[in-house]
Copies of this chain bind each other. A is one copy, B any other.
Amino acid sequence: MKFIANREELLKALLITSKISPSKSIDMSTTYIKIDLNERGLFFTSTDGKLSIISKVPFIIDDTQIIRDIVYGSTLINAQLFTEIVKRIDGKELSFELIDDSIVKIENEKSDFKLNAIDPNEFHDIDFSFDGVKITLLTKNFIEAINQVSFAVSLNTKDTRQSLGGVNIESVPSKLVFTATDGARLAKKEIYLELDEKINATISAKTLQEVIRTITTENSIDIYINERRALFVLNNTLINASLINESYPSTKNIIPKNFYYTLTVNSNELISAMERVSLFSTERENVIKLTMTNEYVEVSSKSLQVGSAVERIKSFDFNGERLEISFNSEFVKSAIKSLDVEEVTINFLGEMKPFTVVNKDDDSVIQLITPVRTY
């Protein structure tokens, strides 16, 4: 195998692929990147065992020759080192050559790098076929859905319920529903979509964030889901993500329909006030109290050891009797931020009942949060 390539285009594809390769791993093959040069282009493939990416460098981009002086072939080299070399080496082009199937030479006029290479058959066999139910989404809708729910997954790696580390994607009539929960809060987003076949798949939130980061100029994204994996199809990149092999908890009847109290406030004002008082929520992490009456709305926190803080909310609209409720302010903050709207509405049933954080002009997304008991 042999080629001379435009360094910048090589690096672009390489960064997409190699970012998931661990620099050290017990499964040695995951530290390698597979390089294939054939009549369709130059391909980089990497895997971390659960997530696999293949990215293509076309021979020609916008009438510019990107890869020249080609001899087809295939090899495996260390992903992180190869990426670092392409990143650090000077110049517009670099030459790449596989010698005796055991050494890759990467050169320009000033630098000579030699990397140990191994047999490409040592690499994992990865299924990049377009198999399963096909969904097509506008990338902006897909990105919004992931951002509005994925923060709510469980980050507790000791959680035995693996599925809570993932975002559940389920088809219901005319809709695709994205759900995430860590047991104390739940985020739900619906996208309008007509599908003939049923889907119910749970994908690691980290993987979905990785997919989002890989999107560049694509207007829409195709996703093929079968029983084992989801395949995300981007312009020059395919991403294969294993599904979380555990059924997702039912969340159908968790969200209340009617509420007794409604608070509407400016999003930024509430967030700033919570950030200030949370300085004192040292005894129970991030727990603050919200007190609402028709006359005033306050957020507060108290620590016997260090002191206390009270913040008055200037502009609000509250319907209901006086209510005091305590909660993790980080949960409410990320719920509000995910809505990305100037004014937020919070609906309560009572001081120990879950409450919802919503945008009153958009019912496609609901954030549900369980309050915290304080004594």
Contacts and interface: CB of A to CB of B under 8 A. Distances in A.
Interface of A: 78, 81, 84-85, 88-90, 103-104, 110-116, 272-273, 275-276, 279-280, 305-312, 314
Contacts of A312: 110-111
A132 B308 CA distance: 45
A307 B118 CA distance: 12
B276 A309 contact: no
Contacts of A310: 111-112
Contacts of A273: 110
Given A85-B309, A90-B272, 9 more contacts: A78-B306, A88-B275, A104-B307, A110-B311, A113-B280, A113-B307, A114-B308, A114-B309, A115-B307
A22 to B, nearest CB: 15
A333 B53 CA distance: 37
Given A110-B312, A276-B88, A115 B78 contact: no
26 contacts: A78-B306, A78-B307, A81-B279, A81-B307, A84-B279, A85-B309, A88-B276, A88-B279, A89-B276, A103-B307, A104-B307, A110-B273, A110-B311, A110-B312, A110-B314, A111-B276, A111-B310, A112-B311, A113-B307, A113-B308, A113-B309, A115-B306, A115-B307, A116-B305, A116-B306, A116-B307
Contacts of A305: 116
Contacts of A116: 305-307
A115 B103 CA distance: 66
Nearest to A89: B276
A314 to B, nearest CB: 7
Given A89-B276, A276-B89, A309 B84 contact: no
A118 B113 CA distance: 64
Task: Quickly give the copy total for this chain.
Answer: 2
Nearest to A314: B110
Contacts of A110: 273, 311-312, 314
Given A110-B312, A111-B311, A311-B111, A306 B276 contact: no
Contacts of A104: 307
A114 B302 CA distance: 9
A33 to B, nearest CB: 13
Contacts of A112: 309-311
Contact of A81 (B78, B103, B306): B306
Nearest to A117: B307
Contacts of A276: 85, 88-89, 111
Nearest to A110: B312
A81 B111 CA distance: 53
A299 to B, nearest CB: 10
A312 B109 CA distance: 9
A312 B272 CA distance: 56
Contacts of A314: 110
A273 B307 CA distance: 55
A14 B7 CA distance: 49
Nearest to A275: B88
A273 B84 CA distance: 13
A89 B113 CA distance: 55
A308 B314 CA distance: 65
A78 B303 CA distance: 13
A184 to B, nearest CB: 26
Give the 5 A-B CB pairs with smallest separation, nearest first: A115-B307, A112-B310, A114-B307, A114-B308, A88-B276
